[in-house]
């Protein structure tokens, strides 16, 4: 037997703690003291009705949810009260965005799923920024959003909005239960998606008609999601490749990120690695605290205002673990001055960097004015090489004339040895060239 509850509250937002406890029992007729929760089924001890709010709260509690943040109002105020009755700690906030940030922080700190309760329309819209931030930062949040009754959709219901479409790009998983008996399954899948793989935010759309609808039938609950989630192990070949890369690196730099902090044993293993390898390291803001700042090989924290310093480290490091690929280039050519071979002309091969270009090779032309340069570099993106030619052909100044020639991307090869050679041909340095400049520090 299924029927709609005769009890309802005015659609006002406020703290649940001010509501009379007797009213809470009247709505759910269910408390943590009277609960009969086992691994599979849940039923009222006295055979009385359970409404959607009680089922939602019981499902969250059954899946290990201990905290709920939110702003209550129509149609989820009963869910908030039922959550308190089931022993879930409710923290009321003044705005849904603040509640979303608080919920994700609690999920990150505890390593457990945390619920976020919001009302329909503007409530869920205010929370979207926090949900997106949680997904990007891998912080688990299970958002329960109230929405209009199903039979009132597209009929101007109170604060009606296309909520599932609005949150889909900000959440890992979005769903809506269609009956009281499907609520526990939706909660179980939401918790699993929020915690497993790459953690993030999930959303369960809860229609108002389900919140107040009650049933005397027995409700089946899925098994609790095993936590902590299983550890993902990379292929052995990839691990061996990373180890060989580190062994062959001349100046490796370790960057400790947030993933090490989130992993259950990541911090301990990273500390052991840093101690045994004796490699220099720094931490991103999310990775701070994985290892002590007093560590003898710690070289500073990577912050936005320190990107210049970080760029210098990256440009001088021959290897960043697991990042980038080795790219190579080779160039040849011949230079003359007034028709005669230009001997002992300094020629350099550079890779363009953010601040200081990196020298890949350097030569002087032979008696025929010919030269060949080659070099390689490990980069995240395609390298941007160029050749600088320094000369005094028909020039009486103190410094040198500098001619810069860019190497086309099509002549860049993967690996330590270039597969193609870029031939710049024969250049008469007595001529005028676009972009030619003067250099005194070559």
Backbone angles phi, psi at 136, to 5 degrees: -65, -35
Cβ atoms of 49 and 214 within 8 Å: the answer is yes
**The residue count for the chain:** 442
**Blockwise average pLDDT, block size 10, the chain, 442 residues:** 38 36 35 35 48 94 96 91 95 94 92 93 93 91 89 75 88 94 95 92 93 88 89 84 84 82 77 87 83 82 49 54 75 94 95 87 95 90 91 90 93 91 93 87 82
pLDDT at res. 284: 83
pLDDT at res. 5: 39
- List pLDDT tens digits, range 361-411: 999 999 999 999 999 998 877 899 999 999 999 998 889 999 999 999 999
Cβ atoms of 56 and 183 within 8 Å: the answer is yes
* C-alpha–C-alpha distance, residues 52 and 211, integer Å: 4
* C-alpha–C-alpha distance, residues 70 and 299, integer Å: 41
- Between strands 173-175 and 298-301, the pairing is unpaired
pLDDT at res. 366: 95
Between CA 33 and CA 40, with CA 35 as vertex, the angle to 5 degrees is: 150
Backbone angles phi, psi at 438, to 5 degrees: -110, 140
Structural domains of the chain, ranges and CATH numbers in brackets: 49-215 (3.40.50.970), 231-320 (3.40.50.1220), 326-439 (2.60.40.3330)
Closest CA to 345 of 364, 358, 332: 364
pLDDT at res. 61: 95
Cβ atoms of 405 and 424 within 8 Å: the answer is yes
Report helix, strand or coil for 269. helix
Cβ atoms of 254 and 302 within 8 Å: the answer is no
Tokens of 157: 């219901």
* Number of H-type helices and E-type strands within the chain: 12, 24
Between CA 406 and CA 411, with CA 408 as vertex, the angle to 5 degrees is: 125
Closest CA to 295 of 316, 278, 313, 319: 278
In the block, which residue shows the tokens 């070099």? 375
- Between strands 2-4 and 213-215, the pairing is antiparallel
- Between strands 254-256 and 89-92, the pairing is unpaired
- List pLDDT tens digits, range 210-219: 998 888 888 8
């Amino acid at each position: 037997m299924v029927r709609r509850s005769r009890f309802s509250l005015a659609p006002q937002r406020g703290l649940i703690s001010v509501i009379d406890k007797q009213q809470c029992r009247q709505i759910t007729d269910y408390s943590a003291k009277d609960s009969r929760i086992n691994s599979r089924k849940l039923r009222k001890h006295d055979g009385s009705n359970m409404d959607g709010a009680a089922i939602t709260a019981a499902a969250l509690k059954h899946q290990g949810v201990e905290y709920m943040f939110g702003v209550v109002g129509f149609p989820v105020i009963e869910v908030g009260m039922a959550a308190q009755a089931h022993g879930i700690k409710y923290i009321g906030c003044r705005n849904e965005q603040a509640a979303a940030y608080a919920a994700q922080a609690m999920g990150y700190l505890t390593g457990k799923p945390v619920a976020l309760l919001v009302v329909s329309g503007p409530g869920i819209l205010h929370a979207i920024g926090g949900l997106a931030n949680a997904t990007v930062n891998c912080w688990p949040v299970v958002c329960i959003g109230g929405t209009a009754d199903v039979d009132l959709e597209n009929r101007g219901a109170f604060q009606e909005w296309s909520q599932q479409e609005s949150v889909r790009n900000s959440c890992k998983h979005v769903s809506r239960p269609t009956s009281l008996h499907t609520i526990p399954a939706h909660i179980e899948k939401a918790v699993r998606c929020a915690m497993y793989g790459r953690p993030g935010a999930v959303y369960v759309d809860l229609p108002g008609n389900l919140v107040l609808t009650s049933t005397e039938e027995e409700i089946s609950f899925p098994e609790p999601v095993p936590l902590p989630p299983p550890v993902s192990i990379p292929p052995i070949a990839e691990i061996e490749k990373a180890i060989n890369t580190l062994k062959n690196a001349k100046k490796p730099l370790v960057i400790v990120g947030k993933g090490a902090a989130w992993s259950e044993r990541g911090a301990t293993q990273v500390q052991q690695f840093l101690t045994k390898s004796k490699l220099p390291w720094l931490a991103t803001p999310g990775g701070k605290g994985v290892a002590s700042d007093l560590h003898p090989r710690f070289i500073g924290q990577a912050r936005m205002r320190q990107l210049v310093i970080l760029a210098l480290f990256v440009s001088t490091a021959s290897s960043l673990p697991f990042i980038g690929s080795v790219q190579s280039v080779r160039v040849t050519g011949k230079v003359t001055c007034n028709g005669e071979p230009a001997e002992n002309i300094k020629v350099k091969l550079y890779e363009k960097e953010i601040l200081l270009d990196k020298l890949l090779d350097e030569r002087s032309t032979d008696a025929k004015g010919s030269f060949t340069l080659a070099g390689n570099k490990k980069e995240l993106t395609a390298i941007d090489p160029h050749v600088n030619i320094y000369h005094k052909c028909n020039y009486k100044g103190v410094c040198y004339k500098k001619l810069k020639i860019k190497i086309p991307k099509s002549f860049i090869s993967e690996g330590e040895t270039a597969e193609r050679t870029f031939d710049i041909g024969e250049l008469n340095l007595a001529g005028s060239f676009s972009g030619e400049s003067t250099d005194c520090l070559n």
